Amino acid sequence: MKKGLKRSLTLLAAVTLAFGIAGCAGGSNSGNTSTGNETGANNAAETKGNGEKTKLVYWTYQRHDAEYIKAKIDEFNSTNQDNIEVEMTMMAENYPQSLDLAFASDQAPDVFAAQRPNEFYAKGYFEPLNDYMTDDLKAKFEGFILEGGNQFDGNIISLPNVGNTIRLVYNVDMFEKAGLQPPKSLDEMVAAAKKITEIGKADGIYGWSLPYKSPSSALGRSAEKIAEMNGFHRSGFDFKTAKYDFTGWKPIIEAFRQMSADGSVLPGSEALDMDPMRAQFAEGKIGMYISYSTEPGVYNTQFPAKIRWDATLVPTIDGGEPQGAVDPAAITWLSMSSESKNKEAAWKFMTYMYQDEVLRGYHEAGLGISVLPHVLEGAKEPSVPGIKSFLPTKYDAAWPIAPSGVTPEGKTWHEEFVKYILVGGDLDQVISDLNASYNAALDKAVADGKVKVTADPSFDPKALQK
């Protein structure tokens, strides 16, 4: 079996590397490339002997930071005193499947960008970092080691680099033309979308859009974040009762439905992915939407904006003081493979990449927003135009980790809510059914020993604000 898997992995590496070369030539956003010696997914076994270097293989799925990371790897390779050489391989959309195949065929990378941490921890892919970390390093990341996020059963599997702040992105030109200020409440958001549509519809301009083609993408970047700002966890899990309860989401979903019913949503949004929607915003066809701190980079390079745009905090339900905070999900970055034959060398490389200077440079280059105090201290404002509005505030803070692996029968809450937003129906019944299905799935997961939950009646989401 492993012999067949090894042949499959070799073929996979050859195919993805070929796509990577073609992608780079054409400016594509997908594909695989490598730096250093072009060995693709070669086994990372120790190669020392006869004066040869200890070679490490690092896998990542992130393309946007490739130039910066490659420069840092080159710097490490030329300056480390331990004769270590790191090769970076950039994978495409099949990253999780590629990792599965690599581990199954004894060709796992030494270091890799963490993804699906709970799933890959269960598969045994991660080397626990606890014994490698110094007390100083543990102190720096205090508050960012979260059980169920980057720690499982007390085993630390990764440390964060940056997070993604979330903001309401708006067309300054259209807001000024309509005489509007950025909305602070849901009612203001609905009214602004309607007014922008009224004055812009003749020119194909609508007040609101989301990539509704993917319910999880659409609501994951919007309704979830409004919920967190108002004190409800993005998963629907209530830490006070240790049960799922979407009741508090009702005004949020109603507001989204109202914009759809008003005709304020860009036609075709139900079939749009995120990038085509961004292209429409860059052309000035959308008044506002909600998304991540990656947007400044998008509108400076990928889709140069033909309009003036800015961003602001997502609204609260009534326009009042936020009762929670939006989680920037600063949880994982680099992980060490449990199968690495060069663990000490791998840790030396990881320690280098987690240096304050490297992380601070990453933040200052606008490649991601750091939420780590020791990195932000003394950091310059990122150089990407438009990034200032995405810089962390006290309303950007980590939440506890909700139970993972809770899979309800039927449709997910993302799917049910998007259906209601676009079509309508009985929202009270939708919420009641979701509460029932998610709690039934939770009860089953607990009974099967897959999940442990404990109610915390004293939990205060507003206390998350720093």
Overall average pLDDT of the 327-352 stretch: 96
Per-residue pLDDT for 204 more than 50? Answer: yes
pLDDT digits (tens, 9 = 90+) for 296-327: 989 988 899 999 999 999 999 999 999 999 99
Average pLDDT over residues 248-273: 97
**pLDDT grade for 200, boundaries at 50, 70 and 90:** very high
Closest CA to 45 of 109, 2, 97, 91: 109
pLDDT band at 412 (very low <50, low <70, confident <90, very high): very high
Question: What is residue 464's predicted lDDT score, i.e. its pLDDT?
Answer: 95
What's the confidence (pLDDT) of residue 466?
78
Report which of residues 382 and 72 the model is more confident about. 72
Count the Cβ atoms, other than its own, within 10 Å of residue 321: 9
Q: So what's the pLDDT on residue 3? A: 39
Residue 278 CB neighbours (<10 A): 24
For the cut 90, the answer to whether the pLDDT of residue 23 exceeds it is no
Q: What is the pLDDT of residues 123-146, one digit of tens each?
A: 999 999 999 999 999 999 988 898
Query: For residue 259, is pLDDT > 50?
Result: yes
What does the alpha-carbon distance between residue 176 and residue 339 come to, in Å, rounded to a whole number?
57
> CA 338 to CA 354: how far, in whole Å?
19
Task: List, for residues 265-303, the tens digit of each pLDDT value.
Answer: 999 999 999 999 999 999 999 999 999 998 998 998 889
pLDDT at 48 over 70: no
Tokens 């036609």 belong to residue:
267
- Split at pLDDT 50, 70, 90, the class of 328 is very high
For residues 197 and 269, the answer to whether their CB atoms sit within 8 Å is no
The average confidence (pLDDT) of the chain is: 89
**Residue 346: per-residue pLDDT:** 98
Model pLDDT, residue 450: 87
Residue 340: C-alpha distances to residues 16, 62, 77, 159, 345 (Å): 22, 21, 18, 18, 10
* Mean pLDDT within 57-86: 94
Asked whether the predicted pLDDT for residue 92 surpasses 80, the reply is no
pLDDT digits (tens, 9 = 90+) for 211-242: 999 999 999 999 999 999 999 999 999 999 99
Instruction: Give the C-alpha separation, 303 to 276, whole Å.
Output: 10
154 has a pLDDT exceeding 60: yes
Q: Residue 384: what pLDDT?
A: 87
20 has pLDDT over 80: no
Can you tell me the mean pLDDT for 186-197? 98
pLDDT band, very low/low/confident/very high, at 45 (cuts 50, 70, 90): very low
Q: In the chain, pLDDT over 90 holds for what percent of residues?
A: 76
8-17, 147-156, 429-438 — which one is most confidently predicted on average?
429-438
Domains in the chain, ordered, with CATH? 2-159+331-369 (3.40.190.10), 166-327+400-464 (3.40.190.10)
| Side-chain half-sphere exposure of 427, counting CA atoms within 13 A | 20
Contact 404, 148 (CB under 8 A): yes
Stretch 5-21: mean pLDDT, rounded? Answer: 38
Q: Maximum distance among all alpha carbons in the chain?
A: 75
Asked whether residue 8 carries a pLDDT value surpassing 90, the answer given is: no
pLDDT of 152 > 70? The answer is: yes
